[in-house]
Amino acid sequence: MEIANKISNAVVAGVKELYGQDIAPESVQLQETRPEFEGNVTLVVFPYVKMSRKRPEDTGQEIGEYLVKQVPDVVARFNVVKGFLNLVIAPAQWIGLLEEINSQERFGFTKPTEESPLVMIEYSSPNTNKPLHLGHVRNNLLGWALANVMEANGNKVVKTNIVNDRGIHICKSMLAWLKWGNGETPESSGKKGDHLIGDYYVAFDKHYREEVKELVAKGMDEEQAKQEAPLIKEAHEMLVKWEQGDPEVRALWRKMNEWVYAGFDETYKALGVGFDKIYYESDTYLEGKEKVEEGLAKGFFYRREDGSVWADLTKEGLDEKLLLRSDGTSVYMTQDIGTAKLRFQDFPIDKMIYVVGNEQNYHFQVLSILLDKLGFKWGKDLVHFSYGMVELPNGKMKSREGTVVDADDLISTMIDDARQMSADKVNKLEDITEAEAKEIARIVGMGALKYFILKVDARKNMLFNPEESIDFNGNTGPFIQYTYARIRSILRKAEAQGIQRPEHLPTNAELSDKEISLIQHLNDFAAVVRQAGNDYNPSCIANYCYELVKEYNQFYHDFSVLKEEDSNKQIVRLALSEAVSKVVRNGLGLLGIEVPERM
């Protein structure tokens, strides 16, 4: 904020002139004035009391008088409350700040350069045996928003995904399709490929439980029955064939995975997320085994009598971690090491962020230590962006499986709900076509879903309530989108009325406290973007946008824009409206939320 810099420099000069002491501009403590006192910016006076050898009140008085005298174009007047100097900023400074905000299309963002650090962010991480669900929705939205936030803070960003495309769970779907599929395809069934495969995963589980039940009825112990059921044995046999590269099994695996990927791509597109590079566990697990063998040779790990390989992390306050089973097969940790190796070969990573649920906290604690031991320079400082569970109220939107909420069901329901909720508003719009109404419903429905999830601190568990999220009042996406559309309507009407806006705003325009507060709030956006990046916390941007539009709505309620007779005031209010719409558009854009020009 240029105003803060001007005040800081003036205070430095004042302390030098008044007390003969040199201080650094960054040591000057400024904060927003508390609402019960007159002023915009408050200087903390206590650090200068020893220099002045006077009471805090007298020191504040002296510095205040100096500022009004030396920089009257910045500080109009002041008052002192104990050790705090409250400064009233001259109106021309606020006008200048508003002009500066409006002159920058990407106000608050730092553009990455060639020298910027490279941050890689992993999110999504689906299994190819089932469709994406509500948990994946939160994961994808957080990953996408975090990538945008990191880029807005001047980092180069690579968005990646690791697909879990191998293992016993994949073989279960494959086996079920062979047994009961009758050659069914996404085209022949009209189902998305990920849903089709998910249905066969469920079918396997149903038949498997029946087999276990029969074996238990014949007197077998339940745990043994789970191991001896014919279906699970067949699935394990298929997995062995896959590991050995059996041509038929591999061909089926590739075909069914392609169906799933096509389905995933549709869901990702609907969510508005994507990736720069996708890795597959079927490629990375062997790399991981190789890296573990390398660590074994260097003495980082040890082999037990049964042939399994372990890492002893007791010195780090953890336990012993299995890396390779006795039969030589890998575990998730091995795969993550292999993926890290490939990523490090592909990109000069400076920081790695994993967007994974909090049930994996311990896993990433261990992974960080292992990667560091194996020589990955970012291993020690990897970031596990740990987030909590997301659930729906009981009885809401039961998915086709009846156990988890399907992402596609959720998306379509949100858009349908938005269409119904916004029908009255949209139908009042002139010349609205069916296609436009449909597009507005999509933007509002997805905005409601994304905002409701992203406004919550990621570390917390949350309850997603579809009805609450689509409300046009309160801390919701549609409320913010509606305010944005209202502002765009005001600006269009101003243009239609031929209201001319000069190149520069009138510096002599009178400003109300509410207008000054709005400009201050707009200026805070840059600091909020920095905070979101430093804390890995997109929710602070969501809540900032809500507070901004709430304040704008109060301003709009109290002050006229288009009917204002004082042309200077009108021009400033239009500029203020435009700045709010731009910051809201950019803020929501960081969260992956679109804004409708009409609503």
3 state SS for 70-102: HCCCCEEEEEEECCEEEEEECHHHHHHHHHHHH
Answer whether residue 2 shows pLDDT above 90: no
Answer whether residue 425 shows pLDDT above 80: no
Write out pLDDT tens, residues 334-385: 999 999 999 999 999 999 999 999 999 999 999 999 999 999 988 999 999 9
What is residue 577's three-state secondary structure? Answer: helix
List Cβ neighbours of 132 (8 Å cut-off, separation of 6 or more): 124, 126, 140, 194, 264, 267, 406, 407, 408
On whether the CB atoms of residues 270 and 408 are closer than 8 A, the answer is yes
Answer whether residue 396 shows pLDDT above 70: no
pLDDT for 467 equals 85
On whether the CB atoms of residues 413 and 565 are closer than 8 A, the answer is no
Query: What is the model's pTM?
Result: 0.92
Answer whether residue 400 shows pLDDT above 60: no
Write out pLDDT tens, residues 314-347: 999 999 999 998 888 788 899 999 999 999 999 9
Rounded Cα gap, residues 539 and 342, in angstroms: 32
pLDDT for 427 equals 65
Q: Which two tokens stand for residue 184?
A: 């069914």
Write out pLDDT tens, residues 303-314: 999 999 999 999
List Cβ neighbours of 567 (8 Å cut-off, separation of 6 or more): none
**Smallest Cα–Cα separation from 147: which of 286, 261, 273?**
273
List Cβ neighbours of 114 (8 Å cut-off, separation of 6 or more): none
**Smallest Cα–Cα separation from 122: which of 338, 339, 318?**
339
pLDDT for 65 equals 97
Rounded (10°) CA dihedral 320, 326, 329, 330: 0
Starting at the earlier edge strand, list the strands of the sheet with 309-312.
302-303, 309-312, 320-324
Q: Which two tokens stand for residue 213?
A: 């039940």
Work out the average pLDDT over 547-567.
96
Q: Phi and psi of 354, rounded to 5°?
A: -105, 120
Write out pLDDT tens, residues 477-510: 999 999 999 999 999 999 999 998 888 999 888 8
List Cβ neighbours of 56 (8 Å cut-off, separation of 6 or more): 45, 46, 49, 82, 83
List Cβ neighbours of 515 (8 Å cut-off, separation of 6 or more): 94, 555, 559, 572, 573, 576
Work out the average pLDDT over 447-451.
97
Work out the average pLDDT over 434-448.
94
On whether the CB atoms of residues 583 and 522 are closer than 8 A, the answer is yes
To the nearest whole number, what is the mean pLDDT of the chain?
A: 93
Rounded Cα gap, residues 488 and 349, in angstroms: 41
Distance of CA 76 to the CA centre of its chain: 41
How much of the chain, in percent, has pLDDT values that exceed 90?
86
Rounded Cα gap, residues 156 and 562, in angstroms: 43
CATH fold for domain 2-89: Gyrase A; domain 2 (3.30.1360)
Q: Phi and psi of 465, rounded to 5°?
A: -110, 105
What is residue 363's three-state secondary structure? Answer: helix
Q: Is residue 6 packed enough to be buried (19+ CB in 10 Å), middle (13-18) or exposed (0-12)? A: middle
8-state DSSP, 54: S
pLDDT for 404 equals 74
Rounded Cα gap, residues 523 and 502, in angstroms: 22
How much of the chain, in percent, has pLDDT values that exceed 70?
98
Confidence at 397, pLDDT banded by 50, 70, 90: very low
**How many other β-carbons are positioned within 10 Å of the β-carbon of residue 30?**
18
- Write the CA distances from 575 to 298, 356, 565, 598, integer angstroms: 65, 42, 16, 19
Write out pLDDT tens, residues 129-170: 999 999 999 999 999 999 999 999 999 999 999 999 998 999
Same CATH fold assignment for domains 120-391 and 413-590: no
Confidence at 107, pLDDT banded by 50, 70, 90: very high
pLDDT for 599 equals 87
Answer whether residue 393 shows pLDDT above 90: no
**CATH architecture observed for domain 413-590:** Orthogonal Bundle (1.10)
Answer whether residue 423 shows pLDDT above 80: no
pLDDT for 327 equals 81
Rounded Cα gap, residues 142 and 298, in angstroms: 38
Work out the average pLDDT over 84-99.
94
**How many other β-carbons are positioned within 10 Å of the β-carbon of residue 180?**
13
Where along the chain do its domains lie? 2-89, 120-391, 413-590
Amino acid at 3: I
Confidence at 403, pLDDT banded by 50, 70, 90: low
Please indicate whether residue 424 or residue 47 has the higher confidence score (pLDDT): 47
CATH fold for domain 120-391: Rossmann fold (3.40.50)
pLDDT for 394 equals 66
Rounded to a whole number of angstroms, the CA Rg of the chain reads: 30
Amino acid at 133: H
